[in-house]
């Protein structure tokens, strides 16, 4: 009898049946097993012998409590055990279904007709389950440190066989093995082993955790110690030195002159740091944090030198004019000195809301920052500038929490680090440009805390997380305009206004301060270059249009650098310079400017300094940038020159008007365009209605008023000072309707009401200076602003005619030539 060879396409149980000797064993055997059978019972002995004799060495075996399912096994040989018993080795091959059992015959052997079962084709879901099983088995192998299991995984490919082998390897009990045996379907078998594997894996993992915990608890300190030793050894090996980071921090901490609370907190963090794995992200944060903490200038402070006479002379030496400003600053310093002398330095002694923050308000380039520097110098303290323009986020002031990616301390902390002392003068620059962030917390609130003497001795930066005492810091703020400073901050401020300089002041500042500085910076000697006042005046008029001196300083710098370069390249000597030389003398022009220092001394013999004439200016500085267009723009009707205060100081603005007839049913009305705030829109409406209601006095016919009017304020000046253009708009409309041009020498400012009264406005000094700067000689101001003229420098007033108008008639009288 022979068994047909199986093919993979054969479904389970479809193999041809065979007749084999049958034996029953007490234990369940599974395919893949190799079992040693002692031929102790007659049944077994008979069956084995029959197998060797009759059936090419094959035998059917049943096992355990069930007898309907058997396995087919091969018996390669029979031999004797060391004990003398005879035994057979059997190799179990596959499952078999018992079809029929014969009665014992022929020397006692029982025969059975069995049908070997061949594992069928595996479906994809079984394949997937097998992959899962393999993964679980790999983990089990690892946790049990098994050698046999990885070998099985490597050598056994078929899922059914794998399941059987695992059941054998895992030393299942008989019941479990029986269940596996009965799982004829490969899918069932894999599933059964899979569920066992998962449970087993769980058990193993739990056991592992417990073991780890126990051993960690017992020997953590010893282990850490050993690991540290190893780490140090590795570092040494790598040539990284024996840097004991924590040790260094501890030494630094011992020397730290910080408040006790800070030291305790740092020590705690340091402990945490020491225990932490270097791989942990927190390790990096804490390290950066520690560095920051140790970078703080704890305990460093400058001793105040509060000598008021000295302060006055420093302020005088650094700045021309500004007498009232300097006086206010000295008063401020005197108050501090007094409090200091009387020992009233603690925050609680400071009256709340005493406006302790000196705030310098004025257009760019009027010296706000440099006054701040002088104050620091006068007090003998460090100076730091913190730019607040565009700050929208509380975190910029107060820092981000450490857990943020890329978190940093806020600007106040950085300023202290930069200063290197805990009591510097901090200039809060452009505090009016600080936004109030709706999303990320309000920087104003943080700033309030910084400035409030009742709170700022325990200022807490989110990043540093320790209390900082800011009560010794002197805060000075700057702003271009006061109206945009958030109200709560304004309450704490002591405003000092700087309105800008007249031309003659600028000439003086340039000659005495700006130019010598530029000359020095360029590496020239003071006696090598002289620039006349007239020339500076030309630069101011032609190349700058500003209330301060910032552009002037820049242009002078350019001029000086050009001169230096020419001297350095030998194109310029002490002889009076001519334009020809400048443009034609190019034989050495490719020499580089960096030769400056070397060549200056050699080429310029001491003696008369180089002077630059008015003619040369254009060649040095290029075309004049400022186009004096007042004359030109006001030459036609319907245009009037107004005055406004903008973020850059006072400025002139032009109001343009036009009108066109409307159809019979169209509504006559008003169109507004340009840089008009809401308040200016109202001004325009009032202006138009004033003109309408006074048509007969102004000599205007009905026809003229039945038109649509268009008022335009061209870009350029964006007024910050609210209403002040009423009289200008009215005048432009009157000019349009009467056909009389406004005098080009006149600029005006003031609001008007429906009765034609002229209402007072702000910013008189800035506006008058702006008009003066633009070459305007007559200014119309509201009569009630008369007292403000006191602020305007006398030399400016001397050069101008000021008309103080109480009613619009008086404005008109000044604005138009007598008919
Ligand atoms: P702000 O801070 O108001 O914009 P800065 O302080 O930057 O202006 O001043 C611009 C430059 O003008 C600085 O170099 C400053 O020293 C100089 N400056 C301004 N006003 C005066 C003055 N009254 N006397 C001397 N130099 C001045």
Over residues 726-742, the pLDDT tens digits come to 899 999 999 998 888 99
State residue 593's pLDDT score.
38
Q: Atom 25, ligand 1: which residue's CA is nearest?
A: 319
| Residues in the chain with pLDDT values less than 70 | 1-15, 105-107, 213-225, 228, 231-232, 235-243, 344-355, 436-440, 572-609, 626-632, 663-668, 675-677, 715-723, 819
CA 513–ligand 1 middle distance (angstroms): 9
Q: Atom 5, ligand 1: which residue's CA is nearest?
A: 367
Q: What residues contact 426, with CB distance under 8 A and at least 6 apart?
A: 384, 385, 386, 412, 415, 419, 473, 474, 475, 476
Q: Which atom of ligand 1 is nearest to the CA of 498?
A: 3
Task: Please give all residues whose beta carbon lies within 6 A of any atom in ligand 1, as ranges.
Answer: 319-322, 364-370, 478, 509, 513, 548-550, 553
CA 768–ligand 1 middle distance (angstroms): 21
Q: Which atom of ligand 1 is nearest to the CA of 322?
A: 23
769 vs 767: CA distance, rounded Å: 5
256 vs 166: CA distance, rounded Å: 65
CA 302–ligand 1 middle distance (angstroms): 25
Q: Write the DSSP string, 547-573.
A: SSSHHHHHHHHHHHHHHHHHHHTTS--
CA 629–ligand 1 middle distance (angstroms): 28
CA 777–ligand 1 middle distance (angstroms): 27
State residue 628's pLDDT score.
60
CA 556–ligand 1 middle distance (angstroms): 14
Could you tell me what percentage of the chain is helix, strand and coil, using 3-state DSSP and rounding each to the nearest 5? 45, 20, 35
Q: What is the tally of helices (H) and strands (E) in the chain?
A: 30, 24
Q: What phi and psi, each to the nearest 5 degrees, are found at residue 530?
A: -130, 135
The tokens describing 512, both together, are: 């005495």
Q: Which of 315, 323, 365, 552 to mutate to test the pocket of ligand 1 (most atoms within 8 A of CB)?
A: 365
| 3-state per-residue secondary structure call for 382-437 | CEEEEECCCCCCHHHHHCCCCCCCCCCCCHHHHHHHHHCCCCCEEEEECHHHCCCC
Q: Which of 367, 504, 556, 769 to mutate to test the pocket of ligand 1 (most atoms within 8 A of CB)?
A: 367
CA 769–ligand 1 middle distance (angstroms): 17
Q: Which atom of ligand 1 is nearest to the CA of 319?
A: 24
Q: Atom 9, ligand 1: which residue's CA is nearest?
A: 367
CA 375–ligand 1 middle distance (angstroms): 13
CA 714–ligand 1 middle distance (angstroms): 30
State residue 727's pLDDT score.
92
Q: Which atom of ligand 1 is nearest to the CA of 364?
A: 4
| 3-state per-residue secondary structure call for 293-358 | HHHCCCCCCCCCCCCHHHHHHHHHHHCCCCHHHHHHHHHHHHHHHHHHHCCCCCHHHCCCCCCCEE
Q: Which atom of ligand 1 is nearest to the CA of 429?
A: 2
Q: Atom 10, ligand 1: which residue's CA is nearest?
A: 365
* Closest listed residue to residue 564, CA positions, set 727, 556, 324, 465: 556
Q: What residues contact 391, with CB distance under 8 A and at least 6 apart?
A: 397, 411, 434, 435, 443
* Closest listed residue to residue 9, CA positions, set 118, 154, 127: 118
665 vs 267: CA distance, rounded Å: 85
Q: Which atom of ligand 1 is nearest to the CA of 373?
A: 6
CA 380–ligand 1 middle distance (angstroms): 20
Q: Atom 16, ligand 1: which residue's CA is nearest?
A: 370
State residue 625's pLDDT score.
72
Q: Which residues are catalytic?
A: 724, 767
Dihedral angle sign, alpha carbons of residues 333, 339, 340, 345: negative
443 vs 760: CA distance, rounded Å: 35
Q: Which of 322, 549, 553, 557 to mutate to test the pocket of ligand 1 (most atoms within 8 A of CB)?
A: 549
Q: Atom 17, ligand 1: which residue's CA is nearest?
A: 367
Q: Atom 22, ligand 1: which residue's CA is nearest?
A: 319
The tokens describing 763, both together, are: 């910013």
Q: Atom 19, ligand 1: which residue's CA is nearest?
A: 367
CA 361–ligand 1 middle distance (angstroms): 13
Q: Atom 20, ligand 1: which residue's CA is nearest?
A: 367
State residue 717's pLDDT score.
54
Helix or strand (DSSP H, E) at 708: strand 707-713
Q: Which atom of ligand 1 is nearest to the CA of 550?
A: 10
Dihedral angle sign, alpha carbons of residues 271, 275, 276, 278: positive
Q: Which atom of ligand 1 is nearest to the CA of 517?
A: 14
CA 553–ligand 1 middle distance (angstroms): 9
Q: Which of 383, 548, 553, 647 to mutate to test the pocket of ligand 1 (most atoms within 8 A of CB)?
A: 548
**Count of alpha carbons within 13 Å of 292, Cβ hemisphere only?**
22
Q: Which of 366, 376, 389 to mutate to test the pocket of ligand 1 (most atoms within 8 A of CB)?
A: 366
471 touches 346 (CB < 8 A): yes
Distances 351 to 330, 331, 354, 355, 616 between C-alpha atoms, Å: 20, 17, 6, 9, 59
| 3-state per-residue secondary structure call for 670-707 | EEEEECCCHHHHHHHHHHHHHHHHCCCCCCCCHHHHCE
Q: Atom 18, ligand 1: which residue's CA is nearest?
A: 367
Q: Which atom of ligand 1 is nearest to the CA of 549?
A: 12
Q: Which atom of ligand 1 is nearest to the CA of 362?
A: 3
CA 549–ligand 1 middle distance (angstroms): 7
């Amino acid at each position: 009898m022979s068994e047909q060879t199986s093919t993979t396409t054969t479904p389970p149980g479809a193999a041809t049946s065979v007749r084999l000797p049958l034996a029953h064993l007490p234990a369940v055997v599974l395919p893949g097993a190799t079992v040693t059978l002692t031929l102790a019972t007659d049944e077994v002995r008979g069956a084995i012998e029959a197998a060797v004799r009759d059936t090419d060495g094959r035998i059917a075996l049943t096992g355990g409590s069930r007898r309907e399912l058997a396995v087919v096994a091969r018996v390669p040989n029979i031999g004797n055990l060391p004990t003398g018993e005879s035994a057979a080795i059997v190799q179990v091959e596959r499952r078999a279904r018992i079809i029929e059992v014969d009665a014992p015959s022929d020397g006692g052997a029982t025969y059975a007709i069995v049908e070997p079962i061949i594992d069928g084709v595996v479906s994809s879901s079984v394949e997937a389950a097998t992959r899962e099983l393999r993964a679980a088995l790999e983990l089990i192998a690892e946790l049990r440190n098994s050698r046999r299991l990885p070998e099985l995984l490597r050598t056994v490919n078929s899922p059914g066989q794998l399941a059987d082998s695992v059941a054998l390897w895992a030393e299942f009990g008989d019941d479990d093995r029986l269940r596996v045996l009965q799982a004829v379907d490969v899918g069932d078998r894999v599933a059964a082993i899979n569920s066992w594997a998962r449970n087993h894996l769980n058990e193993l993992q739990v056991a592992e955790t417990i073991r780890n915990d126990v051993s960690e608890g017992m020997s953590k300190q010893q282990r850490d110690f050993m690991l540290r030793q190893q780490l140090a050894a590795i570092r040494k090996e790598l040539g990284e030195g024996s840097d004991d980071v924590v040790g260094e921090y501890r030494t630094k901490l011992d020397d730290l002159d910080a408040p006790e609370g800070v030291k305790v907190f740092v020590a705690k963090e340091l402990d945490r740091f020491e225990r932490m794995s270097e791989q942990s992200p927190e390790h990096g944060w804490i390290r950066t944090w520690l560095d920051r903490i140790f970078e703080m200038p704890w305990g460093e402070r400058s001793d105040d030198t509060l000598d008021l006479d000295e302060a006055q002379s420093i302020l005088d030496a650094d700045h021309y004019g500004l007498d009232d400003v300097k006086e206010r600053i000295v008063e401020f310093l005197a108050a501090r000195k007094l409090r200091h002398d009387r020992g009233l330095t603690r925050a609680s002694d400071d009256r709340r809301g005493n406006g302790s923050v000196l705030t310098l308000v004025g257009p760019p380039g009027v010296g706000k920052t440099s006054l701040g520097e002088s104050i620091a110098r006068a007090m003998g303290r460090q100076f730091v500038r913190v730019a607040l323009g565009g700050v929208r986020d509380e975190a910029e002031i107060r820092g981000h929490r450490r857990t943020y990616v890329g978190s940093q301390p806020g600007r106040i902390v950085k300023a202290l680090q930069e200063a290197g002392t805990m009591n510097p003068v901090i200039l809060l620059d452009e505090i009016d440009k600080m936004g109030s962030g709706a999303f990320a917390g309000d920087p104003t609130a943080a700033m309030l805390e910084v400035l409030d003497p009742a709170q700022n001795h325990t200022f807490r930066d989110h990043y540093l997380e320790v209390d900082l005492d800011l009560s010794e810091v002197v805060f000075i703020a700057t702003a271009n305009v006061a109206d945009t400073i958030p109200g709560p901050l304004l309450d704490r401020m002591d405003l000092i206004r700087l309105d800008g300089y007249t031309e003659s002041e600028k000439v003086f500042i340039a000659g005495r301060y700006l130019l010598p500085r530029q000359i020095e910076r360029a590496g020239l000697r003071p006696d090598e270059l002289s620039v006349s006042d007239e020339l500076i005046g030309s630069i101011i008029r032609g190349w700058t249009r500003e209330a301060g001196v910032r552009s002037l300083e820049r242009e002078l710098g350019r001029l000086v650098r050009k001169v230096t370069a020419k001297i350095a390249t030998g194109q310029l000597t002490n002889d009076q310079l001519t334009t020809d030389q400048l443009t034609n003398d190019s034989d050495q022009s490719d020499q580089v400017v960096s030769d400056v220092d070397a060549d200056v001394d050699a080429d310029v013999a001491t003696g008369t300094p180089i002077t630059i004439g008015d003619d040369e200016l254009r060649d040095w500085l290029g075309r004049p940038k400022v186009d004096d267009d007042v004359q030109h723009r006001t030459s036609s009707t319907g245009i009037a020159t107004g005055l406004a205060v903008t973020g850059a100081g006072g400025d002139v603005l032009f109001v343009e008007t036009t009108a066109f007839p409307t159809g019979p049913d169209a509504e006559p009305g008003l169109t507004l365009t340009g840089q008009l705030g809401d308040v200016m829109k109202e001004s325009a409406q009032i202006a138009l209605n004033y003109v309408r209601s006074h048509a007969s006095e102004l000599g205007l016919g009905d026809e003229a008023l039945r038109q649509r009017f268009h008022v335009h304020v061209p870009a350029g000046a964006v007024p910050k000072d609210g209403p002040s253009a009423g009289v200008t708009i009215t005048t432009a409309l009157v000019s349009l309707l009467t056909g009389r041009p406004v005098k080009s020498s006149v600029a005006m400012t003031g609001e008007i009401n429906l009765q034609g009264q002229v209402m007072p406005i702000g910013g008189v000094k800035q506006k008058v200076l702006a008009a003066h700067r633009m070459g305007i000689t007559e200014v119309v101001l509201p009569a009630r602003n008369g007292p403000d003229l006191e602020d305007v420098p006398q030399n400016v007033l001397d050069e101008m005619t000021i008309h103080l108008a109480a009613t619009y008639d008086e404005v008109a009288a000044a604005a138009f030539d007598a008919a």
